[in-house]
Homo-oligomer: A and B are copies of this chain.
Amino acid sequence: MKPEHKEIMKARRRNIRLTVSYDGTAYNGFQRQNPPQVAVQNVLEEKLAAVCGDSVELAASGRTDSGVHAMGQVVNFFTDGTIPLDRLPRAVNSILPPDIVVLDAAEADRDFSARHSAKSKIYIYRILQGYIPDPFERNYSWNIHKELDTESMKECLRMIEGTHDFSAFRAAGGPPVSPVRTIYEASLEKKGRIVELKFFANGFLYHMVRNLVGTLVNVGMGRTSVQRFGEIMASLDRNQAGATAPAQGLYLYKVNY
């Protein structure tokens, strides 16, 4: 966005904050793409513009990659549209495709930014254990063909809690920001054949959750020891860690402000 364009947007009367849930399967991620590629943002901006009666440019808490899902993505936009807040979700949901849903709309302060005001985020990663797949889980989890040693995985999760340099789990190509992040909670819960991992942190590096999960699954499969996991983390070297876990198991669960 050009600076003068940003000023035009800021001159609009309302700053609206939305909580959005989407099934990422069919989209090239959240962030706006040039057609014919379609991202969640393209679709949301078009439908919000129709409901608000002016152009819409969204800021989001962060991008999500192709195939990644969201239960609680947060976005904001400036508008002169006069639609009442309590009608907005229903109005826009009625024209959105059913894999994108606006859960909630709120009036925000003028200086609220879904991106810059975010204090912490929660991601969930779902793994399906067992060599028989589940047709209902094919787009919603990562199928690992054996039972995981979840006790060893939990030891590693305790290791990553706290403030650390997560360079070993940082993808090449991300923005040049500090690799230090604070993980408030990293936990594991079993739900039948599903292993659900939860990561609650003040922020995440590019591909950090998926790189952590790839390495944690190596521990769960007995390919990497708990001690080795600690060494990988301390090495600050991405080449030591496991492969990036597939996108379809990942959910942006919640953004806190």
CB–CB B133/A93 < 8 A: yes
A22 touches B135 (CB 8 A): yes
- B-chain residues with CB within 8 Å of residue A138 when the two chains form the complex: 23, 98-99
Please, which residues of chain B bring their CB within 8 A of the CB of A21?
Answer: 134-136
Minimum CB–CB distance for A247 against chain B, Å? 15
CB contact under 8 A between A69 and B136, given known A90-B131, A131-B90: yes
Tell me whether A93 and B140 are in contact (CB under 8 A): no
Q: Which residues of B contact A132 (CB under 8 A)?
A: 89, 93, 101, 103
- Which of B98, B100, B101, B135 lies in contact with A99, CB distance below 8 A? B135
Contact among B101, B131, B133 with A98 in the assembled complex (CB-CB below 8 Å): B133
A137 to B138, CA, bound (A): 14
Structural contact, A135 and B100, CB atoms closer than 8 A: yes
Contacts of A22 in B (CB 8 A): 135
Contact with B along A66-105 (1 / 0, CB 8 A): 0001000000000000000000011001000011110100
A102 nearest CB neighbor, chain B only: B132
CB proximity of A147 to chain B, nearest CB, Å? 16
A residues lining the B interface (CB < 8 Å):
21-23, 69, 89-90, 93, 98-101, 103, 131-136, 138, 140
